[in-house]
Amino acid sequence: MSRLFHDDAVDEIKRETIHWQRDVYQSDKELEQVFETLSGLPVEPLYTPSDTAHMDYLGDLGFPGQAPYTRGVHSTMYRGRRWTLRQLAGFGPAEETNKRYKFLLKEGATGINGVFDYPTLRGYDTTDPYARADAGRGGVAIDTIDDMRVLFDGIPIDRVSSSLVTCHPICNISVQSMYFANALMRGIPLEKLTGTSQNDFLMETAVTVAPELLPPKCSFKLSCDAIEYCTKYVPRWNPISFAGYNYRESGCNAFQELAFVMANAIACSDELVKRGIEVDRFAPRLSFFLSAHNDFFEEIAKYRAARRIWFRIMKERFGAKNPRSLTFRFHVQTAGVALTAQQPLNNVSRAAYHALSAVLGGAQSVHIDGYDEALCTPTELSSLTALRTNQILQLETRVTNTTDPLGGSYFIEALTNRVEEETSALLDEIDQMGGIVSAVETGWIHKEISNSAYEYQLAIESGKMPVVGVNCYQMEDEELPIELFQVPETLAIQEKKLKKIRAERNRSKVQEALDAVARCCDQDGNLMDVLVDYVTTHVTEGEVSQALKRAYGTWNPPLF
Amino acid sequence: MKRNIRVVMARLGMDAHWRGSIVVARAMRDAGMEVIYVGNQLPQNIVETALQEDADLIGLSSLSGNHMILATDVVRILREEEMDGTTVILGGTIPPDDVPKLKSAGIAEVFGPGTPLKKIIDFIESSI
C-alpha cells in the first residue's frame, strides 16, 4: 500500500479546514454559492489532502509509462518525445490540398492530418445531386484512386505519418483502401505505412449524420472490417480513432465524450475477439481523439481519467497484457464550438488555453484551430498562426520539462476521480442497454447529445456561461478584421476528371469490383480485403457506397 | 383560435452539423411552435414538405458553405410554386459579406453563430 496521507493527518486537516472556512466565509450564503465545472461537477472553494486521502499512489497514479498510466503513457513523456504537430487541412480538389500539405510540412508540421469534403465523408461522388453544392467544402474531394494519387504526390508517405479523417466507415472503407492501394502502386509495402484513420460508426449514425445512412450494425461492421484488415496487413496503422472530439462538438459533455468513446472501443474489441483475433494484436492500435474545451482543469482531469479507465477496461474486461493495449493514446483538437465568429482574433488566445490543457493532460498529438473557423475554412495565415501557437507552446513555455506537472494537485486528483466516476456510471448504463450499437439504434445516444447541446445553449442564453464577445463585451458594428477563405473551384474540376475516368476505365473490371462487393456483403466477408484490390479499377467511392446500400439498406436516425 | 406557427426545419444538402438545427428546433417547440424536422434535404424536397405541411416558415441550417447555392434555390423554388406566404430563415456559419446577398434573394433573416435563441423566436413571432 502506498496511501497518500495518514488517517490521523487527514482528520486533523478536515477539522482545520472547517475552522478556516468559518474564518474566511463571513456568511453561509457566501459559502453556499455554487461553482461548477463546464460539465456540471460542483467545485469546492479549496482542495486539501483530505480530498485525495483514500488514494493509493501506486494503484491509482503510478509512474508514467506504467500501470495504471494516469500520469502518462510514456515513461519520459515530452522530455523524450514531443507531441506531434498535426494541423488539419483539406479543401477543394486534391491538387490544392496537396499544396497545403506541402506548405505545412515545410513550416514544421510533423504529420499530415487530412480531412475530406462533405460528400466524400458520406460516401458520395462529387457529381451526385446531393453532393454538388458541397464539393470541396470542409475538406478535399476524393472520388477515385486517381484523386488519392494526386493528394499525396511528392509526399514521402513511407516516412511521414498520415491521419486520414475518414469519419464515416462508409467513407473509410473506400478511401482508406485507395490510400493503401496507392501506396502499393508507389512500391511502398503496407507494413511501412504509419498513420491513423477515423473510421467511427458513431460519427456516421449519431454525430454527423448524412442522408441515407447505413443501419448502425452495418456501419459498425465496416469499421471492424478495417480494424481487422489493418491488424493483419498494416501493423503500424491505427485503423480507428474514436472521435470523442466530434461527439463533444455535437453537444456531449466531458463524461459523455469519454463514456461514448470507451463504449465504442469496447464494442469493437468484443467484435474483433469474436472474429478470433487476440486482444493484444489489435488493441495496441486502437486510438482516440478528444476535444480540448473551455474548462481548463476539467479537461486535464478528463485526459488523466481516460488513461486510468482504459487501463482498467483492457486489463479487467479483456485480459490484455501488452502494455500498448493498456495505454490510452490520443490526439486532441481544440474545441471548435468554443470559437466565436464575433471578434475572431480572440480565438487565438482561446485555442492556446485549450491546447495547454491538452499538453498538461499528456496528449500524443495536438491540432490547434484556426481563429477564423467559426466563419470559414482556415486561410493559410490562420493555419500558420495555429501551427506557430503549437510551436510556442512546445518550445517557449517549458511545460515539457517534467511529466504530468499537475499530478498530486489535490484539486486535479479529486477532479480526475470524479470524472472517472461519472464516466463509469454512464458506461454501466450503456452496458445495461446492450452496448453502444443498441444505444444508437434506440436513439438513446441522440437524445443524450441533443439534451446536453440544448442545456449548453440555454446556459449561454441565461448568461450563466459567459462567452466574451457573444453575451458579454460585445462590440457594436464590428468590422471583420480578417480575410475569409474562398473554396477553390471543385465541382467543375471533379466533373471533368470523373467524366474522363469513366470514359477510359475498363467497364467490365468496374462491374467485377461491384459484384465482388455485393458478394462480400452476402457472404459477410471483410470488405477491405476486397476493396484494396478493386479500387485500382477506378471504381468510384459513390459506386461502392451504392453497392453497400443495396446490400444493407438504409436507416433514418431518430434525431428529433 | 389562432393556430400554432408551423415550421419545417432542414439542413441543406450534405451539411453534417445537426447541433444548431436541433437546438433551434427545440427552442421553437418550447415556444409553442409545431416543428417538422426533416434532416438533410435538397431544396425541391424542402419546398414540397413545406407545401404538404402547410408551413408558415422554413428554417434552414448550413455550416458547410453551401448556402449561397442551396438557400437561394429554396426561395427561388418557393417563388415558382407561388408560395410567397412562406417565410424562409437561415442559420449557420454564414460569412457577413453573404448576408445582404441572401436577403436580397429573399431570405427573410440570417442568424450567424452566437445568435441568442430568443432573437430567433422573437423574429419568427413578429414576422408570422
Q: How are the residues of chain A apportioned to helix, strand and coil, as percentages rounded to the nearest 5?
A: 55, 10, 40
Cα B81 versus chain centre, distance: 17
The length of chain B in residues reads: 128
Q: Measure the CA–CA gap between A170 and A172, rounded to whole angstroms.
A: 6
Going by C-beta distance under 8 Å and a sequence separation of 6 or more, which residues neighbour residue A556? A213, B39
> B100 at the A interface (CB within 8 A)?
no
Q: Measure the CA–CA gap between B94 and A322, rounded to whole angstroms.
A: 49
Confidence band of A6 (pLDDT split at 50, 70, 90): confident
What mean pLDDT do residues A362-377 have? 91
Of B64, B97, B117, nearest to A457 by CB-CB distance is B117
Amino acid at A424: S
Confidence band of A216 (pLDDT split at 50, 70, 90): very high
Of A121, A137, A480, nearest to B96 by CB-CB distance is A480
Residue-level pLDDT at B1? 57
| Closest among A535, A509, A531 to A520, alpha carbons compared | A531
pLDDT 10s digits, A513-523: 999 999 999 99
Residue-level pLDDT at B44? 97
Closest CA of chain A from B19, distance in Å: 5
Written as nine digits, the cell of A358 is 491538452
A453 contacts in chain B (CB < 8 Å): 19, 22-23
Confidence band of B114 (pLDDT split at 50, 70, 90): confident
A471 contacts in chain B (CB < 8 Å): 116
pLDDT 10s digits, A370-427: 999 888 878 889 989 999 999 999 999 999 999 999 999 999 999 999 999 999 999 9
B22 contacts in chain A (CB < 8 Å): 450, 453-454, 559-560
Closest CA of chain B from A557, distance in Å: 9
B12 contacts in chain A (CB < 8 Å): 133
Q: Measure the CA–CA gap between A437 and A454, rounded to whole angstroms.
A: 24
What mean pLDDT do residues B98-110 have? 97
User: Which residues 27-66 of chain B have a CB within 8 Å of chain A?
Assistant: 27, 35, 37, 39-42, 64-66
| Closest among A213, A200, A205 to A164, alpha carbons compared | A200
What mean pLDDT do residues A424-453 have? 97
Q: Cβ of A208 and B18 within 8 Å?
A: yes
Q: Measure the CA–CA gap between A247 and A333, rounded to whole angstroms.
A: 12
Q: Cβ of B19 and A374 within 8 Å?
A: no
pLDDT at A213 exceeding the cut of 70: yes
Best of A454, A474, A485, A486 to substitute, by most chain B Cβ atoms within 10 angstroms, is A454
The alpha-carbon radius of gyration of chain A (Å, integer) is: 24
Q: Cβ of A560 and B22 within 8 Å?
A: yes
Q: Which residue of B has its CA nearest to A485?
A: B95
Residue-level pLDDT at A3? 83
Say how many CB pairs under 8 Å bridge A and B: 108
Written as nine digits, the cell of A289 is 481523439
pLDDT at A254 exceeding the cut of 90: yes
Closest CA of chain A from B128, distance in Å: 23
A377 contacts in chain B (CB < 8 Å): 65
A450 contacts in chain B (CB < 8 Å): 22-23, 26
In A333-351, which positions are buried (b, 16+ CB within 10 angstroms) versus exposed (e)? bbbbbbbbbbbbebbbebb
pLDDT 10s digits, A21-60: 888 887 778 777 889 999 999 999 999 999 999 999 999 9
> A204 at the B interface (CB within 8 A)?
no
pLDDT at A487 exceeding the cut of 90: no
Closest CA of chain A from B60, distance in Å: 15
Written as nine digits, the cell of A80 is 523524450
Going by C-beta distance under 8 Å and a sequence separation of 6 or more, which residues neighbour residue A288? A241, A242, A244, A261, A265, A306, A328, A329, A330, A331
Q: Cβ of A124 and B14 within 8 Å?
A: yes
Share of chain A above pLDDT 90, in %: 86
Residue-level pLDDT at A43? 96
Q: Cβ of A133 and B113 within 8 Å?
A: no
* Three-class secondary structure assignment of A159-202: CCCEEEECCCHHHHHHHHHHHHHHHHHCCCCHHHCCEEECCCHH
Going by C-beta distance under 8 Å and a sequence separation of 6 or more, which residues neighbour residue A202? A242, A243, A247, A260, A264, A436, A440, A445
Amino acid at A62: G
What mean pLDDT do residues A54-82 have? 95
The chain-wide mean pLDDT, for chain A, equals 95
A341 contacts in chain B (CB < 8 Å): 93, 112-114
pLDDT at A266 exceeding the cut of 60: yes
pLDDT 10s digits, A170-206: 999 999 999 999 999 999 999 999 999 999 999 999 9
In this structure, the strands spanning B34-41 and B6-12 are: parallel
Q: A6-14: which pairs have CB atoms within 8 A and are 24 or more residues apart? A: A7/A53, A9/A49, A10/A49, A10/A50, A10/A53, A13/A48, A13/A49, A13/A50, A14/A48, A14/A50
Q: Measure the CA–CA gap between A148 and A1, rounded to whole angstroms.
A: 55
Closest CA of chain B from A556, distance in Å: 9
> A249 at the B interface (CB within 8 A)?
yes
Say yes or no: ipTM exceeds 0.95. Answer: no
Closest CA of chain B from A215, distance in Å: 16
